[in-house]
Structure 1
Amino acid sequence: MIEIDGLSKAFRKSKVIDKLSLKVGAGERVALIGANGAGKTTLIRCVLGEYVAEGKVRVFGLDPRARRSDVLRRIGFVPQLPPPLKMTVSDLVDFACGVSAAEAGRVSGVARELGLDFSEIAGRPFVKLSGGQKQKLLIAIALGRDASLLILDEPAANLDPVARQKFFRLLAERRDDTMIMSSHRVDEVAALVTRVIEMDRGVISFDQRMAEDRLNSATMRVRVEMSLVEPAFAAALAQWGFSGDAGGRVWSGEVAGPDRLRFLCLLSHYSGSIFSTSLDEAESVETPFATASLNV
């Protein structure tokens, strides 16, 4: 579905993506996380063919720069920042449906589910909508078409709580779609994804595949042994309810199923201080996590 090999992108003298390689297969649902400036949005823009960059990018086997129209026709995309489009909402929806052979009725239907009455805003310029209205409409356009790849860059940032809940339910219904969703909140998307990728300074610092039926399952028993005592790491583990030995190097505790992704990302932040980590599911003998050593 997506193949990236040796991708590098710099703006002036600042390198934002540094020799990054990545493959995302059909049906994978990826949470792309990382701090601001980590390179998440730049990576997404390269996949969409917006930037000229070094290295190789292929989407559906096509070069997204050379075959951009063919690639974008098959992608549902929600940007982090809504574009300053002056066309009316109706014209925008007609245009989006025209290039993707989608039905405007499906788009307006998704908008209604998110709490946006299409008939009330159809004649208004997109740029004049509120932040929440723009986000709901862009989500409706992305989900209202038969896209085999969804790329969502902080899609829930401007949504009210009710709309967020409905939005995540709509995503959960599209279990067969390939998805890349950038988010600052791992716990928010944990139930939707099968893989977590964390970026830091233009490289992938953490990449963990999760068994789909185990994302919200049994409690996980964890043992962490530090190579050196790291006070900040110890404090973070203590906040999770872990207990340490007398020397403060070996910590043990339990993590609830829904919190797995968030905890694994915590471990990735302190990978340089970890000597070994074991994870066992409390209610299963043979699982993807059973007596496994985590390499971070």
Structure 2
Amino acid sequence: MTLRIQSVSKTYPNGVRALQDLSLTIAPGMFGLLGPNGAGKSSLMRTIATLQPPDSGSIMFRDLDVLREPEKLRAQLGYLPQEFGLYPNMPADAILDHFATLKGVVQPGERKELVASLLHQVNLYDVRKKSVGGYSGGMKQRLGIAIALAGSPKLLIVDEPTAGLDPTERNRFLNLLAEIGDDVVVILSTHIVEDVRELCSQMAVINKGQVVVQGEPERILDEVRGHIWRRTIPRQQAEAYRAQYQVISSRMVAGNTVLHVYATSHPGDGFEQVEPSLEDVYFHRLAEASGGRVPVEA
């Protein structure tokens, strides 16, 4: 059931190099794909989903050559893009019934049972007759995942699914993803580090169309454990510290600046060692990939 992406590159007509010789091997279960806006995550998702061809490279899903036989991949693919349209005046059950038909569920009785089951799964059954134009953002996202699951996919791609959701809807959506079976390859593409930390057993960070780190989150954390240091300073001193230390992130707390720096030994000057988070790894690796320091105001 493994998805293998080998040396995939994509340059758009305007000259933007979205993917650069990118390779990943993704096993069944939840896989987190992290990266800043413009890193190439959505381009990779569209390429895997056969919505656009790469300039070079190969994609294999089990024994299927995805680029040679895209229609066979689509038959076992569920895809929730970052932005998707719904008919605002139609109720959820009618929309889901329509997509189930497109997925090949042609028997009316079977389709009715499937629609009801999916609506229960995404906690929308009680509002199934309500026009989706009146749904909240989270409700629309949950309907989107129901649509993606309609054909019992073996490969599920969700692209920035929690962007713009309030904390309650975000947690509800993440719990829904966590319930999907372990025999399905689920790719969660996001720039929200917490989503990956909470859900994924495997992950990768990409930047400028290239993989900068991949593996198990705990193993990735081990690589920087003992090298992350924190200090709180007055805001006006932040630039001086950025010039002196390898600052990987900064954020404002109660009018002061909390710095996280990467150093292989104690940097002195009042810094304290802290247990690293995936956010620290993320910022550190992006800084390395960019060939310099990337302080981040949060």
For residues 238-253 of structure 1, the aligned pairs below 5 Å read 239-240=259-260, 245=266, 253=273
**Deviation per residue, 1:145-196 (Å, 9 max, x gap):** 5322221101112433322222222222335132210111112331210122
Show the counterpart of 1:14. 16
For structure 1, which runs of at least 5 residues remain unmatched after alignment?
275-296
For residues 6-85 of structure 1, the aligned pairs below 5 Å read 6-12=7-13, 13-27=15-29, 29-54=30-55, 55-83=57-85
Whichever residue aligns with residue 44 of structure 1, its letter is M
Between the aligned partners of 1:246 and 1:108, the Cα distance in structure 2 is: 54
Residue 129 of structure 2 corresponds to residue 120 of structure 1: yes
Change in Cα spacing, 1:247 to 1:18, as seen in structure 2 (3 Å) is same
**Deviation per residue, 1:37-71 (Å, 9 max, x gap):** 11100100000111022221222332334433322
Between the aligned partners of 1:127 and 1:10, the Cα distance in structure 2 is: 36
Show the counterpart of 1:97. 100
For residues 178-257 of structure 1, the aligned pairs below 5 Å read 178-210=185-217, 221-223=225-227, 231=244, 233-234=246-247, 236=249, 239-240=259-260, 245=266, 253-255=273-275
Q: TM-score, normalised by structure 2?
A: 0.71
For structure 2, which runs of at least 5 residues remain unmatched after alignment?
106-110, 230-241, 251-257, 294-298
**Is residue 76–residue 153 contact of structure 2 (8 Å, CA) maintained in 1?**
yes
Q: Offset at 1:128? A: 7.5
Whichever residue aligns with residue 44 of structure 2, its letter is L
Between the aligned partners of 1:158 and 1:69, the Cα distance in structure 2 is: 32
Between the aligned partners of 1:174 and 1:79, the Cα distance in structure 2 is: 18
Between the aligned partners of 1:11 and 1:128, the Cα distance in structure 2 is: 37
Between the aligned partners of 1:232 and 1:269, the Cα distance in structure 2 is: 16
Instruction: Return the match for 1:106 from 107, 112, 117.
Output: 117
**Deviation per residue, 1:99-123 (Å, 9 max, x gap):** 16471112211232xx5744332xx
Show the counterpart of 1:289. none
Could you say what the CA RMSD is over the residues aligned between the two structures, in angstroms? 3.7
**Deviation per residue, 1:214-258 (Å, 9 max, x gap):** 899x9x951369xxx96463474863599974677xx76231xxx
Between the aligned partners of 1:84 and 1:240, the Cα distance in structure 2 is: 43
Between the aligned partners of 2:249 and 2:216, the Cα distance in structure 1 is: 23
Q: Offset at 1:143? A: 4.3
Whichever residue aligns with residue 176 of structure 2, its letter is L
Identity %: 25
**Is residue 31–residue 182 contact of structure 1 (8 Å, CA) maintained in 2?**
yes
Q: TM-score, normalised by structure 1?
A: 0.71
* Corresponding residue SS for 1:270: helix
Between the aligned partners of 1:246 and 1:35, the Cα distance in structure 2 is: 28
* Corresponding residue SS for 2:128: helix
**Is residue 2–residue 61 contact of structure 1 (8 Å, CA) maintained in 2?**
no
Between the aligned partners of 1:246 and 1:198, the Cα distance in structure 2 is: 27
Between the aligned partners of 2:247 and 2:267, the Cα distance in structure 1 is: 12
Show the counterpart of 1:167. 173
Between the aligned partners of 1:242 and 1:202, the Cα distance in structure 2 is: 24
